[in-house]
A and B are shown apart, each in its own frame.
Chain A
């Protein structure tokens, strides 16, 4: 188990300096995420025009993995259509949870740095908190996305 596999430079960088760490000027979707295990919290807002995410941002606090994952997610989904986002989510989820991992890491771009999370089962929920919050925002349901 190599810690550097988990804490890659990109993750450390995004954990310390999360991108899109602000609310967008306009938004028509909001999701709130909470990991009761560690207290990590995320509020995600996005603007959905047609089926394209035209802007997205989040305010949150938590560990490096959860904040970096949400940060890289916002970069990855901005300008993407809903089917494209769904595909990313599925690939990301497979990458961090499946024993075999994702076989097409290339298509995940920067998100591939989270591949090492698979070796740390206790941290998978940190990596997926942002994505669960995104799903909840897109379903536009009330309440809170939780990792539990």
Chain B
């Protein structure tokens, strides 16, 4: 966070959310203690991310900030000043990661989602991983996803969906 512009109460802050710079007023639009997850969900209606544990243990609130997967429940909204945020609402519906999670169904692995509650967190973690490492090994995939809990237990299918997404991205010439 060393590069982030400083902010104080009653100041304005600017956050680029899903490609659009938006200005908010501290004290009016959000409070100094408002978490980024609460602000995005309740203040702005980005309900794709979920708040399940609210203590950085489950990964359901994962978003991408300045290219990195982060837990939005562990960040204050004011800390996002000057940052670029991507929520799952900012991904196109044909994003290779979304398609791979949606379609995963080959024999032997099950589906990559069941109740769907943890899914946006897994999708965003995967998106950040593939942005950085478009061709990860299975060990790298498992390591990257180890901070996200799926109680329905779709881990194996999720890992396979990540490899399918990587293959799709490669087939598109790494353009997505």
A binds B: no
Name B's A-contacting residues (CB within 8 A). none
Residues of A within 8 A of B (CB): none
